[in-house]
């Protein structure tokens, strides 16, 4: 290989190595971003799970309160029916 050809190849090799270095840096940056996004997603999944559990708990409490209200309503209806004076049929 002639010294001129060798110089041409090295002149082409330097920009290629720089491009490779930049690409590696970009890939490393993307890996870090992906890692951060994954961590954020895990955190959000935990928050969503907590929110879902809270909604379920509220739904259960509402159901229990609704049941108690229905029971009290029936009791009041029975109590009121017992207090109504019964008139003999004409």
HEC-encoded secondary structure of 14-83: HHHHHHHHHHHHHHHHHHHHHHHHHHHHHHHHHHHHHHHHHHHHHHHHHHHHHHHHHHHHHHHHHHHHHH
Q: Distance between CA 18 and CA 26 in Å, rounded? A: 12
Mean pLDDT of the chain: 92
Please give the share of the chain, as a percent, with pLDDT higher than 70.
93
In this model, does residue 90 exceed pLDDT 60?
A: no
Q: Does the global pTM surpass 0.85?
A: no
Model confidence pLDDT, tens digit, residues 24-53: 999 999 999 999 999 999 999 999 999 999
Q: Distance between CA 77 and CA 56 in Å, rounded? A: 31
In this model, does residue 19 exceed pLDDT 80?
A: yes
């Amino acid at each position: 290989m002639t010294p001129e050809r060798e110089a041409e190849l090295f002149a082409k090799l330097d920009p290629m190595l720089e491009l490779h270095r930049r690409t590696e840096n970009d890939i490393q940056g993307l890996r870090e971003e992906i890692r951060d996004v994954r961590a954020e997603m895990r955190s959000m999944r935990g928050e969503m799970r907590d929110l879902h559990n809270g909604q379920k708990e509220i739904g259960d409490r509402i159901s229990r309160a609704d049941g108690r209200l229905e029971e009290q309503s029936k009791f009041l209806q029975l109590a009121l029916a017992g207090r109504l004076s019964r008139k003999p049929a004409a």
